[in-house]
Amino acid sequence: MSRVRTTSRPMARLQQAAAFALALVVLGLPAACAGRKPPKQAQGPALTVASEHALLLRRHRPDLAERWTAPSPDEVPFAPLDINTVAAHEQSLRGLLERARALPASAAADSLQARLTLELEQTVPGGALRTDPLLWLAIVEAAARAPFAYDSTAGCREVERAMRQFELIPEALRGAAVLMRGAPPPDPAAFEAGLTRVEWVFRRDLPSRTKACKEGRLLAEFVQADTLAAASLAGFRRLLVPEP
């Protein structure tokens, strides 16, 4: 079954990439109206900034990628931010924001600036990445879902990618706990509800989407990675809410 799907993917990928590029244009650029094409000098730079930001989102902020961009067939592995990488990411966002502010005035440019500003506010010292464990739960949940977001009939290719995403989640949560060291403890009820939800996604929701894959070895590896990711949620709780 996997081979049949694989041989049909080249044309599908071209169609998917075209759809994603079109979605970025819709989200990040003013649409042509009355049959007029937007000026190339306004279109090119805006698309470049939007595309670079979309790539950063899929790599570091899959929660925002899920909210702001079209699902993508590109395999961009999750790269969780940590104490060693967050400052460089902040500088990347500042550079993109500076370029976005230099774009010709439009509603789309304003939207791009607002998105970059929001992400930057979450990234700087004192921002949500360093204070809000619920944000980190949203990040790892979105990272786990990302491989299944584009293809509604996920096969072994998606299962393998999901397994790799799962393998990074324990590291992501440990790094998040270090980033949030010294922050006020989370609201207990909200934190427990968030942990319960993400555990359900890991243990129930995503495994149910793997039925199209029939490779036993791969499925076993997926289950192992899924189990370790779910178990790391308890470790995240212990790091943030030590027992008295």
Q: Is residue 11 part of a domain?
A: no
Mark whether 81 and 160 lie in a shared domain: no
User: Is residue 13 domain-resident?
Assistant: no
Residue 154 in any domain: the answer is yes
Listed in sequence order, the residues at least 6 apart from 58 whose beta carbon sits closer than 8 Å to its beta carbon are: 65, 69, 72, 74, 76, 146
Domain termination site, one of 106, 124, 142:
124
Residue 202's nearest CA partner among 237, 153, 162, 235 is 162
Local confidence band at 43 (pLDDT 50, 70, 90 cut-offs): low
Residue 60 to residue 48: CA distance in whole angstroms: 18
Are residue 118 and residue 139 in the same domain, yes or no? no
- Residue 221 inside a domain? The answer is yes
Which residue, 97, 124, 151, sits at the end of a domain?
A: 124
Q: Give me the pLDDT at residue 241, please.
A: 86
Domain boundary among 124, 143, 167: 124
The string of pLDDT tens digits covering residues 199-210 is 999 999 999 999
Sequence-separated (6 or more) residues with CB below 8 Å from residue 190 = 134
Residue 14 resides in a domain: no
* pLDDT at residue 164 tops 80: yes
Q: Per residue, what are the HEC states of 139-208?
A: HHHHHHHHHHHCCCCCCHHHHHHHHHHHHHHHHHHHHHHHHCCCCCCCCHHHHHHHHHHHHHHHHHHCHH
Mean pLDDT of 23-37: 38
Mean pLDDT of the chain: 84
pLDDT of residue 133: 98
| Total domains in the fold of the chain | 2
Q: How many CA atoms within 13 Å lie on the side-chain side of 6?
A: 7
Two structure tokens written together for 221: 């590896």
Which residue matches tokens 């500003």?
117
Please check whether residue 9 lies inside any domain of the structure: no
- Residue 82: which residues within 8 A CB-CB, separation 6 or more? 175, 176, 178, 179
Identify the band that residue 184 occupies on the pLDDT scale cut at 50, 70 and 90.
Answer: very high
What b/e string do you get for 162-186 counting C-beta neighbours within 10 Å, with b at 16 or more?
A: bbebbbbbbebbbbbbebbeeeeeb
By percentage, how much of the chain surpasses pLDDT 90?
A: 71
Range of the domain at 158: 130-244
